[in-house]
A and B are shown apart, each in its own frame.
Chain A
Amino acid sequence: MKDPVDVLIIGAGASGAAVAWSLAETKMHILCLEQGGWMNPAEYPSTGRDWEAKFYGEWSSSPNVRGRPEDYPINDDNSPIKVVNYNAVGGSTVMYTAHWPRLHPSDFKVRTLDGVADDWPIDYDALTPFFEENDRMMGTSGLSGDPLSPLTHPPMPQQPLGLSGAIIGKAMNRLGWHWWPSDTTVATMDYEGRARCINLGHCTPACAQGAKSSTDITYWPHAVRAGVELRTHCRVREITTDENGMATGVVYYDKDGVEQFQPAHVVIIACNGVGTPRLLLNSASNRFPNGLANSSGLVGKNLMFHPYAQIYGYVKEPTDSNRAPPTCLWSKEWYDTDLSRGFVRGYGVQFVRGAGPVFEAVVSEQKGILPWGADHHRVFRKLNGHRLGFSAICEDLPEEHNQVTLDPVLKDSHGIPAPRIDYTISENSRKMMEHALARGREILETAGATDICVNSPIPWGGWHLLGTARMGTDPERSVVNEWGRSHDVKNLFIVDGSVFVTSGGVNPTSTIQAIALYVADQMKQRLANLFD
């Protein structure tokens, strides 16, 4: 039998890396089990001439399409939005757009302010120092002073405006609407061993330059140097418990597929909004027949995706297309509730610079704006390098029928039951998406765009996996308490997006990591009575 560790972290992605690094200073024996492996930037798509084609196969954002040994299948047939993620050291920070807004203070008080959903048990101020610490660790770029966003202090200057940004900025100024250079985790100068961005463009499926921050090149090197053990290609099947209802460790399959038991005094789950409920539900036992930490019945419930309403078009001037990071500007013009719009809450906007030639051809053919035959070449030259995009990240309110359960048939390569997603877009979200599309059309038309196309929702847009093990002070209405500890299992913690009470209208990774650092800080402060 293996020696017990003090802290066992499951998952080496955004939150697992942050909590590991923060706890390392305690000098406890900390072990992280990760089902994926270390990434090799020399193999990233942008190193090859077939860089765009790879996004349709081995570098697809969908684990079901990608099908790497490190991935697990997800039955998302009953959802208009498909789950996308990445499984490796660094998790989905390996494969994300690096857009870096954070939740607003008002996002933590939606019940009080707008009478919907629930307030969080913590507020923005509790997370502020951890947002700042995380921005330093991840290395953010941006411009302080956005009048409609929380104040941030990015250590690097914002990305260049480029051709696309200037067109968007002019259109937004003509309409009198807010826009601002996005905070991103793209290094705009050499930073902490990372080379500055050289505009490879194909940022989402990993950055060969290392300019895009992912936790395999930010937190993990520090955490490993500080003594954290990271064991890769280890897939956890279940968390075990004793007669007192305390977690005793995990059963996992090692890199050779051999079943192992790893005892631990504390278990921290960092598998995000689908992986975490899947693991808890797979950890059912006689004592916890409905799944671990699930006395509330809310494990897997309240899944929030952020439905994306996307609209794009083509201007006469050239845009940056694939020759720059894809996201450059945001708008918070419609972020807060205005009931005259016909819905509650709101959405953030991220503007998109353009696309590469293969993506442009494939998508435009599918949309019916790029014809077959003799006119193909003329039309393609009108479209390629002229695209501008607008994506609204619509706040998804928690609804219990949107959920992650265990699929009765589908299993992963180790025979572990796979997650099943049941999700519908609410009426409120639909109205929000329609509003966003109408605003996006105004912006694009003001910019002179034609051939306007819509993706609403973006079907392969389930990046943000939130709410399935929500935090709260009431054990009957939440899975973890206000500092991330399970109400039911006193030595079990959750630090990922599943603890979100509401989703806000922004990309969540910054907030997820701030929460992970906050929970780690709470644990350090309470070490003497952590299980009381």
Chain B
Amino acid sequence: MSADNQLTRAQCNDLRTIAAMIVPASDEYKVPGADDPAIQADILATLGRDTALVRQALDHLARLADQPLAELDPAKRDAVAQEFRSSGGAAAATLVRVVLQCYYRDDRVLRSLGLELRAPFPKGYVLEDGDWSLLDPVRARPASLRRAP
């Protein structure tokens, strides 16, 4: 059974709603929100070992909201979200983490951050050698290694 089949339609809806509350879309930064269909699909496809805790978090969210999160008025929705984060423990932290880890590997988001769309290997990165004259004051210190008897 795939991960998306392990969440109910109502849970998927709440996940999408809470994801948009964590990271909304932004015209200013030209990025989608975490409720974007591609990001949601990535989340559901890669839940894997996090599925149980995310389901637990969504159950907790459903209890707090008592109806679909999207149908709450904004003030009530914000209050539920705050309560969810403060009382949700490891399950809520896991849900937030899976949202963020999928959001911050999306091509559109990385492009907006000025990051390259690739794995670190095999190209790697260039690191400037730097100005080692900064070390001169330390070199000038007398050696003072504590002696052992």
**A227 adjacent to chain B (CB < 8 Å):** no
**A377 adjacent to chain B (CB < 8 Å):** yes
Which of the four size classes fits the interface of chain A?
Answer: 35 or more
CB distance from A260 to the nearest CB of B (A): 32
**A336 adjacent to chain B (CB < 8 Å):** yes
**Contact pick for B130, options A44, A166, A180, CB 8 Å:** A166
Interface members, chain B 73-117 (any A CB < 8 Å): 81, 85, 93, 96-97, 100-105, 110, 113, 115, 117
Which of the four size classes fits the interface of chain B?
Answer: 35 or more
**B66 adjacent to chain A (CB < 8 Å):** no
Q: Is the CB of A166 within 8 A of B21?
A: no
CB distance from A144 to the nearest CB of B (A): 11
**A147 to B145 alpha-carbon distance, docked (Å):** 7
Q: Is the CB of B148 within 8 A of A106?
A: yes
Given known A-B contacts A44-B121, A163-B128, A199-B126, A362 and B101 have beta carbons under 8 A apart: yes
Q: Is the CB of B22 within 8 A of A147?
A: no
Given known A-B contacts A147-B138, A376-B24, A377-B28, A161 and B129 have beta carbons under 8 A apart: yes
**A57 to B113 alpha-carbon distance, docked (Å):** 25
Q: Is the CB of B28 within 8 A of A51?
A: no
Given known A-B contacts A57-B49, A166-B130, A358-B104, A112 and B149 have beta carbons under 8 A apart: yes
Q: Is the CB of A53 within 8 A of B121?
A: no
Q: Is the CB of A336 within 8 A of B146?
A: yes
Q: Is the CB of B138 within 8 A of A362?
A: no
Looking across the interface, which residue of chain A has its beta carbon closest to that of B49?
A57
Looking across the interface, which residue of chain A has its beta carbon closest to that of B134?
A169
Contact bitstring A42-66, B, C-beta under 8 A = 1, else 0: 0010111111110011000000000
**B48 adjacent to chain A (CB < 8 Å):** yes
Given known A-B contacts A361-B100, A362-B97, A362-B100, A208 and B121 have beta carbons under 8 A apart: yes
CB distance from A231 to the nearest CB of B (A): 30
Question: Which of chain A's residues have a CB closer than 8 A to the CB of B110?
Answer: 357
Q: Is the CB of B145 within 8 A of A105?
A: yes
Q: Is the CB of A209 within 8 A of B127?
A: no
**A324 to B128 alpha-carbon distance, docked (Å):** 10
**A162 adjacent to chain B (CB < 8 Å):** yes
Q: Is the CB of B149 within 8 A of A113?
A: yes
Looking across the interface, which residue of chain A has its beta carbon closest to that of B139?
A145
Looking across the interface, which residue of chain B has its beta carbon closest to that of A42?
B121
**A178 adjacent to chain B (CB < 8 Å):** yes
Question: Which of chain B's residues have a CB closer than 8 A to the CB of A109?
Answer: 148-149
Looking across the interface, which residue of chain B has its beta carbon closest to that of A124?
B148
Q: Is the CB of B101 within 8 A of A162?
A: no
Q: Is the CB of A373 within 8 A of B21?
A: yes
Q: Is the CB of A46 within 8 A of B28?
A: no
Question: Which of chain B's residues have a CB closer than 8 A to the CB of A361?
Answer: 100-101, 103-104
Residues of B within 8 A of A (CB): 21-24, 26, 28-29, 31, 46, 48-50, 81, 85, 93, 96-97, 100-105, 110, 113, 115, 117-132, 134-135, 137-139, 141-149
A47-B119, A208-B122, A372-B21 given; name 7 further pairs at CB < 8 Å.
A49-B118, A56-B97, A172-B138, A199-B124, A362-B96, A365-B100, A381-B113
Q: What are 23 inter-chain pairs, A to B, with CB distance below 8 A? A: A46-B121, A49-B105, A52-B104, A53-B46, A56-B101, A105-B145, A105-B146, A109-B149, A123-B148, A147-B138, A148-B143, A149-B145, A160-B127, A197-B124, A200-B120, A202-B120, A208-B122, A209-B124, A323-B127, A365-B100, A374-B24, A377-B23, A381-B113
